[in-house]
A and B are shown apart, each in its own frame.
Chain A
Amino acid sequence: MSEPLLRAVGVRKSYGHTEVLKGIDLEVHKGQVVCLLGPSGAGKSTFLRCLNHLETIDAGQVWVDGEPIGFKLRGGKLYELREADVARQRRDIGMVFQRFNLFGHRTALENVVEGPIRVLGAKPGQARADALELLDRVGLAHRAGAYPAQLSGGQQQRVAIARSLAMKPKLMLFDEPTSALDPELVGEVLAVMGTLAREGMTMVVVTHEMAFAAEAADEVVFLADGAVVETGPPDKVLKAPEHERTRQFLARVLS
């Protein structure tokens, strides 16, 4: 099999004396969708945030497309990068947040064109055309001029997905993208994510939506207490888990 697009090796992270990630390994190949599941406090979100260096890791490595994220490899040592150089690495890694985090002072369209124009140096005319196409893909072309405060949570999250896609990322990270939504708005966001998955986007998704994991994931990783408990295809991990921790968790969330 080819070299994985994302490879995390022995990722460790502590806050003070509390070790929240106890050496996590993960491999994601191009076009794969991996869902991270687990009880709250398991370290799923922290691990996801380590993948684009929003959190600095204490030990281990995160490689995306052959590059160590947040570091530069030279003479057998990993040198920490300056924030501006990390910014360059993050261009290729999209992230969608639980709380959307759309820029509140900019319209939906302005949110989407910000990255291409300011970071990639795209021409404003072309960037706007591309952005409108992306907004159309998430079903929001008609709301291009609306400010985030004028959009529902589901609409905001779809704009946020479009904003990430505008950077043409190699990899997309989703941090509980539907957890802050009213129940009736969850479907529209999952639908967009499902389409992305089918189109071959490489995705790492932290979620509590078991139906999404069962349907869209190529692989499910179950985390508990900062460590991987069980990994495998959703049919196996969700239907016939090997470990007691996984069974307990599934029994609780599915009841």
Chain B
Amino acid sequence: MAEAEPLPIVRLKHWGRWVSAVVIVALLVLLGFALAQAQIEWGSVPDFVFYRVMALGLLNTVVLAVISQAVAIVLGILIALLRRSANPVAKWFAAAYIWLFRGLPVLLQILIWYNLALIFPTISIPLPFGGYLLHEQTNVLISAFTAALLGLALNESAYMAEIVRAGLNSVDSGQTEAAKSIGMTPGATLRRVVLPQAMRVIIPPTGNDFINMLKGTSMASVIGVTELIHAANNISSNNLLVMETLIAAAVWYMVVVTVAGVGQHYLERAFGASDRGPASRVGKALRGVPLVRSARV
């Protein structure tokens, strides 16, 4: 073949990209114009952000979300273990639990717990030989905060059970066999070998769920828990600046959610430590495939 003449290369013009970029920017500019017309007292928003009742709302939102998520994780692990157990009754119970608590809307669950006193005025745990371990008015036992916590935690525990189950299933059965072969008990195998490696799969969706949980606490406002929405409504019922107070609440939600997102990033990194290395996950999996090879003498 003859020596090729150096030919200039003409790159493809991405006209579509230019057009879509222009459209997006134009729409954003229009939105900006519209917002500028909006009758919002921007000046009052920073004040509302730092109102005392807002601080209380923020505290309740965070505390409610953290406790609910923590309870949900513990219950979720338990339910996931029942779901994986060899006992058919335990398996069935776990499936029914997930079906129920995942199936009902969170708001409905919160309302049921809040109104429990209507059907059970008192809650008692009698002792076998007379007397009570617990005997109390339901209204005293289940405050609005507790009702919200129960509703949020139990609903989330059903989701956590599925997340944990997926995580446990993601760990190769060879890991369990290796642990058994050095004489580890089933409990130690779970704690030391399976759960730590399941974490890689469990953490990302759990972080996702926790962010949902932070926002889900807003439903507690319906039964009068002073979380961020309730706090915002508190302020606006005095000054009628509804949008301004809601924006103040929105600012806090964004702050809290951003912090949670950063926390998730570091957690993921901590549990992914052993992934650093030349072999990718796929490479590792492929290396386990037995080679067909002729034997040599």
A253 to B297 alpha-carbon distance, docked (Å): 10
Q: A105 with B183: in contact, given A183-B293, A255-B294 (CB under 8 Å)?
A: no
Question: Which of B180, B274, B297 makes the CB contact (< 8 A) with A254?
Answer: B297
Say yes or no: B182 contacts A83, CB within 8 Å.
no
B180 CB contact (under 8 Å) in A87, A120, A153: A87
Complex CA distance for A181 and B293, rounded to whole angstroms = 10
Residues 109-126 (chain B) with a chain A CB within 8 angstroms:
none
Bound Cα distance from A109 to B87, whole angstroms: 37
B261 within 8 Å of A (CB atoms) = no
B17 at the interface (CB under 8 A from A): no
A97 engages B174 (CB within 8 Å): yes
- Judge whether B185 and A83 touch: CB under 8 Å: yes
One digit per residue, 1 when the CB lies within 8 angstroms of any chain B CB and 0 when it does not, for chain A 51-62 equals 010100000000
Q: Identify which of residues 217-255 in chain A touch chain B, using a CB-to-CB cut-off of 8 Å.
A: 238, 253-255
Within 8 Å by CB of A179, from B180, B271, B277, B291, lies B291
Q: A149 contacts B284, CB within 8 Å?
A: yes
Among B181, B273, B289, which residue has its beta carbon within 8 angstroms of that of A164? B181
A27: shortest Cβ distance to chain B, in Å?
22
Given the complex, which residues of B lie within 8 Å of A144, measured CB to CB? none
Residues on B with C-beta less than 8 A from A101 are 172, 174-175, 177-178
Within 8 A of A (CB), among B162-185: 172, 174-175, 177-185
Chain B interface: which of A15-23, A71-79, A208-216?
A208-216
Q: Tell me the complex Cα distance, A208–B296, Å.
A: 9
Contact assessment for A102 and B178 in the assembled complex, using a CB-CB cutoff below 8 Å:
yes
Q: Are A180 and B294 in contact (CB under 8 A)?
A: no
Residue A43 at the chain B interface, CB threshold 8 Å: no
- Closest A residue to B284 by CB, please name it: A149
Residues of chain A lying within 8 A (CB to CB) of residue B289: 180
Contact A253 B295 (CB under 8 A): yes
Residues on the B chain within 8 Å of A149, using CB: 274-279, 284
With A149-B279, A180-B287 as given contacts, are A105 and B274 in contact (CB-CB < 8 Å)? yes
Contacts of A255 in B (CB 8 A): 294
Asked if A90 contacts B180 (CB within 8 A), the reply is yes
- Residues of chain A with a CB closer than 8 A to B297's CB: 210-211, 214, 238, 254
Whether the pair A179, B290 counts as a contact (CB closer than 8 A) is yes
CA distance A149 to B297 in the complex (A): 31
Give the complex CA separation of A105 and B191 in angstroms: 13
Indicate if the CB atoms of A91 and B296 lie closer than 8 Å: no
Residues of B within 8 A of A166 (CB): 182
Q: Mark B187-224, 1 if CB is under 8 A from A, else 0.
A: 01000110011000000000000000000000000000
For B, the interface residue count at a CB cutoff of 8 angstroms equals: 37
Q: Residues 245-256 of chain B: 1 if any A CB is under 8 Å from the residue's CB, otherwise 0?
A: 000000000000
Nearest-Cβ distance from residue A150 to partner chain B, whole angstroms: 4
Known: A105-B197, A147-B274, A149-B277. A54 touches B180 (CB 8 A): yes
A90–B181 alpha-carbon span in the complex (Å): 6
Chain A residues with CB under 8 Å of B179's CB are 103
A147 to chain B: which residues have CB within 8 Å? Answer: 273-274, 276-277
Give bound CA distance, A206 to B293, whole Å.
15
Q: Does A46 contact B (CB under 8 A)?
A: no
Considering only CB atoms, which chain B residue lies closest to A112 in the complex? B182
A118 and B184 alpha carbons, distance in the complex (Å): 8
Asked if residues B183 and A167 are in contact (CB atoms below 8 Å), the reply is yes
User: B293 — nearest CB in chain A belongs to which residue?
Assistant: A183
- Cβ of B177: which chain A residues have Cβ within 8 Å of it? 54, 95, 97, 101
* Nearest chain B CB to A167 CB, angstrom units: 6
Residues of A within 8 A of B295 (CB): 208-211, 253-254
Q: Chain A residues with Cβ under 8 A from B273's Cβ?
A: 105, 147
Taking the complex as formed, is A84 at the interface, i.e. its CB lies under 8 A from any CB of chain B? Answer: yes
> With an 8 A cutoff between CB atoms, is B288 at the interface?
yes
Residue of B at shortest CB range from A52?
B181
- Chain A residues within 8 Å of B193, by CB: 103
A104 CB-CB contact with B under 8 Å: yes
List residues 141-175 of chain B with CB under 8 A from any CB of chain A.
Answer: 172, 174-175
Q: Which chain A residues lie closer than 8 Å to B174 at the CB level? A: 97, 99, 101
For the complex, what is the distance from the CA of A183 to the CA of B197, rounded to whole Å?
Answer: 30
- Say if the beta carbon of B263 comes within 8 Å of chain A: no
Report the minimal beta-carbon distance from B18 to chain A, rounded to whole angstroms.
Answer: 44
- Check if A31 is an interface residue, CB within 8 A of chain B: no
CA distance A104 to B194 in the complex (A): 10
Q: Which of B192, B274, B288 contacts A118 (CB 8 A)?
A: B192
- Beyond A149-B275, A183-B293, whether A114 also contacts B175 by CB under 8 A is no
Q: How far is the CA of A164 from the CA of B182 in the complex (A)?
A: 7
A207: nearest chain-B partner, CB-CB: B295
13 additional A-B pairs beyond A90-B181, A167-B183, A253-B295, beta carbons within 8 Å, are: A83-B186, A90-B183, A101-B175, A104-B175, A105-B273, A106-B274, A118-B184, A119-B183, A164-B181, A166-B182, A179-B293, A180-B290, A180-B291
